Amino acid sequence: MRTIYILCVLLTFLYTATWGQTQSSSATITIITGKGKTTVIADGNNGLAVHVSAKDLQKFKESGYVRYSQFGARGDGKTDDIMAIAATHALANQEGLAVKADEEATYYISGKDMTAVVQTDTDFGKAAFIIDDREVENRSTHVFMVSSKLEAFKLEGVSKLKKNQKKINVSLPGTCLISVTDDNVKRYIRYGPNQNNGASQTDIFIADKDGNVDMDAPIIWDFKNITTINALPLDNNTLTIKGGKFTTIANQAESKYTYYSRGLAIRRSNVLVEGIEHRVTGEGEHGAPYGGFINVSECAYVTVKNAVLTGHKIYQTIGAAGVPVSMGTYDISLSRALNVTFIGGSQTNDINDNSYWGLMGSNYCKNLILDACVFSRFDAHMGVANATIRNSTLGHQGINAIGSGTFTVENSTINGRSLINLRSDYGSTWQGEVVIRNCVFVPAGGRPVSASLIGGSNSGQHNFGYTCYMPERIVIESLHIDDSNHPEGYEGPAIFANFNPKLTDSSYTEAFPYIRTKEVVLRNVTTESGKPLRMSDNLFMFNNVRVNAE
């Protein structure tokens, strides 16, 4: 018997976002090859001892892939297969082999504290996976973790950064994802029932080997002091994950902010996920929220095509302000990620059923795209730099965002209370431009409301950790507003909601001034009610906005 390799997979991952903090499991997988049968044995220390038959290994290399059944997975929907799945991927990662699920198999995955690390192409095919979250050893353990074989390193020689800086004076081994934090500055100081003291200033961007910053995803803050700065080389090849029908048996935990992260985590750049399906069953009268079945963080260039996902039931708890709040719970979570695209996505439940939370949440992202998706919500909590929604339909939670750059909505139908809601808990700020083209807006999904296109609020009395802006310029071209079902006394849709009902004359003082929109361009805006578009219920607040109507 000859020891070829000992693979110590230390999967320590810290994810901080508005919905909480998660950390994956740590597991050691020891792979030994030689004579005898291929077997997988738990080593008693949350690890695995994998013996691979030399004869089997040769067959694996000749075929170019391995299957879960070759490492003992039963696929009967009852036997716990997580150890066999993790072992299969460990061997595949070591040998550079693809992984294929067995056709028509149903893999049962218990709550064991173990993650399957994916570093090679994986085809889940038509196989089913049952993720049982009723008894979980570690709610922060992802079932699958897509990771890079490249290692991050501390970036030396950079002590300061400027907003929109075009180059950093370093040499890199290749194009890298740069992550930077200043713990001395707090941003996103949240207001309202889920109030908090903010988060350390952070940014993520791409630089090439000469230090040139990708200006499609620019640096958005000045960093006078840098607490940490790390670089992760980008993988040049695309890792592909296909198929798979996943069902989560929902947790039955107490309804509080103890987020479960039990799905597919992506921590590698250049990844394509295609044809994955996720459903949820077993939701009862109480349960803890989820931090995303698809959970993307610390990476760039991720595309998810033709995914079928599921909104989670809404549970309530007591928020930081001591009052009841509905907990956000997600099937898609994005954090500190660049250039993430969803194409052809849909969800299993009604996008206008408000008993289910909106499908998506994100933080610290840049260049997000939804294309041909039917989702209950698009959301950017702690900022997005540039976002595009096209050829899509969004349901009852609509578009919720703060951030900067250009927000484009085109060829889409929006069913939220506002066409775009600028999140008031983060100051209703968008520093840049909003462009809306060829869209249909159905206020509140057709319920009788007084419609407004741009929603939000800001009293000017709260310090969010940054100056708050309304979009400097708003361009609306070919928009139809289906306001046929409207309340009595309806005066027609407004461009702006009443962002501050107390700001009715010049005697009101904003301790933290809210910078208003300069120009609105309107071309071919029509209403089902026949009532004309008006400025706002608060004319004083918007009396200096220039409207260019055609």
Residues 320, 301: Cα–Cα separation, whole Å: 35
Q: How confident is the model at residue 4 (pLDDT cuts 50, 70, 90)?
A: very low
Q: What is the mean pLDDT of residues 451-460?
A: 97
Residues 117, 509: Cα–Cα separation, whole Å: 55
Predicted local distance difference test score (pLDDT) of residue 396: 96
**Predicted TM-score of the model (pTM):** 0.93
The string of pLDDT tens digits covering residues 390-404 is: 999 999 999 999 999
The string of pLDDT tens digits covering residues 427-436 is: 999 999 999 9
User: Are residues 112 and 138 in contact, defined by beta-carbon separation less than 8 angstroms?
Assistant: no
Predicted local distance difference test score (pLDDT) of residue 550: 76
Instruction: Please name which of 345, 387, 391 lies closest in space to residue 363, comparing C-alpha atoms.
Output: 387
Predicted local distance difference test score (pLDDT) of residue 23: 38
Predicted local distance difference test score (pLDDT) of residue 25: 52
Residue 178 C-beta-side C-alpha neighbours within 13 Å? 28
The string of pLDDT tens digits covering residues 216-275 is: 999 999 999 999 999 999 999 999 999 999 999 999 999 999 999 999 999 999 999 999
**Token digits for 368?**
């997000």
Cα 467 to its chain centre, rounded Å, is 25
The string of pLDDT tens digits covering residues 275-300 is: 999 999 999 999 999 999 999 999 99
Q: How far is the CA of 441 from the CAs of 263, 411, 497, in angstroms?
A: 33, 11, 15
Lowest mean pLDDT among 1-15, 451-465, 480-494: 1-15
**Token digits for 86?**
């993790």
User: Are residues 340 and 333 in contact, defined by beta-carbon separation less than 8 angstroms?
Assistant: no
Asked whether residue 38 carries a pLDDT value surpassing 90, the answer given is: yes
Beta strand 430-441 pairing with 473-481: parallel
Q: What is the mean pLDDT of residues 81-88?
A: 97
Predicted local distance difference test score (pLDDT) of residue 26: 57
Asked whether residue 154 carries a pLDDT value surpassing 50, the answer given is: yes
> Which residue ranges make up each domain of the chain?
156-232, 239-549
Q: How confident is the model at residue 467 (pLDDT cuts 50, 70, 90)?
A: very high
Amino acid identity, residue 538? N
Asked whether residue 309 carries a pLDDT value surpassing 70, the answer given is: yes
439's CB contacts (< 8 A; 6+ apart) are 409, 410, 411, 412, 413, 414, 419, 478, 479, 480
Predicted local distance difference test score (pLDDT) of residue 47: 87
Instruction: Please name which of 497, 404, 508, 403 lies closest in space to residue 460, comparing C-alpha atoms.
Output: 508
**Mean pLDDT, the chain, integer:** 93
- Strands annotated E in 175-329: 176-187, 199-207, 228-233, 239-249, 264-266, 271-274, 277-281, 291-305, 308-309, 316-318, 324-326
Q: What is the mean pLDDT of residues 335-353?
A: 98
Rounded to the nearest 10 degrees, the angle between the axes of helix 82-95 and helix 54-63 is 70
Residues 132, 308: Cα–Cα separation, whole Å: 19
Predicted local distance difference test score (pLDDT) of residue 445: 95
Bridge partners for 334 per DSSP: 296, 362
Predicted local distance difference test score (pLDDT) of residue 3: 33
Amino acid identity, residue 394? L
Instruction: Report DSSP letters for 138-202, one per residue.
Output: -TT--SEEE--SS--EE--S---B-TT--B-S---SSSEEEEEEEEEEEE----STT----EEEE
